[in-house]
């Protein structure tokens, strides 16, 4: 039986199934922090303080139906990664400036990040919040009906959202996290803000987002407002909002790579603090090694191999689903066949309703290294030959999005 996503029913509290390791998560993080402090500091007390601070900031985590039992070692995680980031509209425990809850807690942002097993490509898929899908049977009850995907969080918590996305995509997703409004602000501030390009001015009274055409460095509340705006970009739809969010995300990736963040363990642990303080993590993600090892797996991926896409869909429907997003199944099958086969992808379609290409292509940062000293002379290290990458699968024009090497600008409503 279908339900409307504006139900005022109280969301059930769920933490999924428990593992024997769960009860000791905080203890394990503390031990890891101590070990990492010894390994990383090399006499630098700042690193030790940062790592310890992350451990003591950890929140209670959530068990998923499918999650690994092995904590990875320090360094890049082995093999591929599927991680789901969920954005919640809950105001619980948040600053009053965000307002009051409007009823059921909804998962209005759903982004899957897939890192290929060879760590040479990554794909991030955004699922529209009101796309009509089968809601999975949730571990602690709920689910088992069809409706907008953003009702799955209130129906059964993070574990239910993960199962619904797994059922929709065919992917196994062992890592997941929920971020609230305050978490977006914390993470944007942790990276020192993100510079975005605005092609046409954005004026949105709903989110108080007002940006003139040009470049803007966004942090704090301004970053949150930019990511939330829908009426201020493109055609005012959630599909337009997704492409606007990808302007921000691609700029964020370029900043992280250009500043060497993904190769600096101390900086990564500072970001990890922002994550564990502001996010609710799955048990599998609630330890320092896992978060840092996943981030480090992204460090060598070329910008044009980090691709942001929308789950293919269009606004339509009828009855209670009138105006909701309906999946374009053939295009979705094409997209996820490539992801399941661990193939890099390239896009032939547009960026989406909320953004436009600037015509500028960002270059990957060139690694720098100190000259090699030989006696009293210096010699420049021999350049490493360019790596040969596998050819990407070029998807049909029904799949919209961009890669991180394409500089795009937000398409405002004026």
Q: What is the pLDDT of residue 414?
A: 65
Is the pLDDT at 212 greater than 60? The verdict is yes
Q: What is the pLDDT of residue 323?
A: 87
Provide the mean pLDDT of the chain. Answer: 80
Token code pair at residue 288: 């320092």
Is the pLDDT at 66 greater than 60? The verdict is yes
Is the pLDDT at 341 greater than 90? The verdict is yes
- Read off the pLDDT of residues 84-123 as tens digits, 9 standing for 90 and up: 999 887 656 555 555 555 667 889 899 999 999 999 999 9
Q: Rounded to whole angstroms, how far apart are CA atoms 91 and 104?
A: 11
Q: Indicate the angle between helix axes 25-41 and 265-278, nearest 10 degrees.
A: 160
Token code pair at residue 34: 């101590």
Q: What is the pLDDT of residue 386?
A: 63
Domain 22-366+390-411 CATH assignment equals 3.40.1390.10? no
Higher-scoring residue by pLDDT: 367, 110: 110
**Tokens 């399941």 map to which residue?**
340
Q: What is the pLDDT of residue 100?
A: 59
Q: Mean pLDDT lowest for which of 11-25, 45-59, 63-77?
A: 11-25
- pLDDT, mean of residues 406-413: 95
Instruction: Using alpha carbons, list the distances in angstroms from residue 27 to 30, 58, 100, 290, 324.
Output: 5, 10, 35, 15, 45
Is the pLDDT at 411 greater than 90? The verdict is yes
For the chain, what are the domain ranges?
Answer: 22-366+390-411
Highest mean pLDDT among 63-67, 251-255, 260-264, 270-274: 251-255
- Read off the pLDDT of residues 56-65 as tens digits, 9 standing for 90 and up: 455 667 888 7
Residue 121: count other Cβ atoms within 10 Å of its Cβ: 25
Q: What share of the chain is helix, strand, coil (3-state, %, to 5)?
A: 35, 25, 40
Q: Mean pLDDT lowest for which of 123-137, 214-228, 314-328?
A: 314-328
Q: Rounded to whole angstroms, how far apart are CA atoms 90 and 107?
A: 9
Q: Which residues contact 132 (CB under 8 A, 6 or more apart)?
A: 146, 147, 148, 149, 317, 321, 324, 325, 326, 327
Do 378 and 288 touch, CB atoms closer than 8 A? no
> What sign does the dihedral 312-316-318-321 (CA atoms) show?
positive
Q: Which residues contact 91 (CB under 8 A, 6 or more apart)?
A: 98, 99, 100, 101, 180, 181
- Does residue 73 sit in helix, strand or coil? coil
- pLDDT, mean of residues 311-336: 93
Q: What is the pLDDT of residue 15?
A: 36
Q: Mean pLDDT lowest for which of 82-91, 169-178, 187-196?
A: 82-91
Q: What is the pLDDT of residue 140?
A: 79
Measure the N-to-C terminal CA separation of the chain; round to a whole number of Å: 42
Q: Rounded to whole angstroms, how far apart are CA atoms 189 and 408?
A: 22
pTM value surpassing 0.85: no
Do 398 and 349 touch, CB atoms closer than 8 A? yes
Highest mean pLDDT among 136-145, 291-300, 321-330, 376-385: 321-330
Report DSSP letters for 48-60, one per residue.
HHHHHHHHHTPPP
User: Given pLDDT bands bounded at 50, 70 and 90, which one contains residue 21?
Assistant: very low
């Amino acid at each position: 039986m279908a339900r409307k996503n504006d139900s005022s029913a109280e969301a059930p509290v769920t933490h999924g199934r428990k593992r024997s390791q769960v009860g000791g998560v905080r203890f394990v993080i503390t031990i890891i922090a101590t070990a990492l402090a010894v390994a990383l500091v090399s006499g630098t007390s700042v690193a030790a303080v940062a790592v310890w601070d992350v451990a003591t900031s950890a929140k209670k985590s959530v068990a998923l139906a499918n999650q690994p039992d092995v904590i990875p070692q320090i360094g890049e995680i082995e093999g591929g990664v599927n991680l789901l980031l969920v954005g919640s509209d809950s105001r619980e425990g948040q600053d009053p400036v965000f307002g009051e809850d409007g009823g059921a807690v909804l998962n209005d942002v759903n982004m899957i990040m897939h890192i290929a097993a060879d760590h040479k490509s990554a794909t991030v898929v955004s699922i529209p919040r009101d796309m009509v899908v089968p809601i999975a049977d949730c571990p602690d009850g709920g689910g088992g009906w069809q409706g907008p995907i953003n009702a799955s969080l209130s129906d059964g918590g993070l574990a239910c959202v993960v199962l619904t996305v797994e059922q929709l995509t065919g992917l196994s997703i062992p890592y997941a996290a929920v971020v609230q409004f305050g978490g977006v602000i914390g993470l944007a501030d942790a990276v020192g803000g993100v510079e975005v390009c605005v092609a046409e001015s954005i004026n949105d009274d709903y989110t108080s987002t007002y940006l003139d055409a040009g470049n803007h460095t966004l942090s704090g509340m301004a970053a949150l407002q930019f990511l939330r705006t829908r009426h201020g970009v493109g055609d005012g739809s959630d599909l337009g909002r997704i492409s606007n969010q990808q302007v921000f995300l691609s700029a964020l990736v370029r900043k992280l790579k250009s500043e060497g963040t993904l190769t600096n363990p101390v900086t990564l642990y500072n970001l990890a603090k922002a994550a564990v303080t502001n996010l609710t993590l799955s048990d599998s993600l609630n330890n320092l090694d896992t978060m840092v090892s996943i981030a480090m797996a992204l460090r060598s991926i070329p910008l044009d191999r980090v691709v942001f896409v929308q789950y293919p869909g269009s606004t339509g429907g009828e009855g209670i689903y009138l105006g909701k997003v309906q999946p374009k199944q053939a295009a979705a099958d094409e997209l996820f066949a490539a992801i399941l086969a661990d193939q890099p992808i390239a896009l032939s379609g547009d960026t989406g309703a909320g953004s436009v290409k600037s015509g500028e292509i960002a270059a990957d940062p060139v690694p720098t290294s100190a000259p090699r000293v030989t006696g009293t002379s210096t010699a420049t290290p021999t350049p490493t030959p360019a790596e040969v990458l596998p050819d990407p699968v070029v998807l049909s024009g029904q799949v919209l999005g961009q890669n991180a090497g394409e500089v795009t600008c937000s398409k405002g409503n004026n």
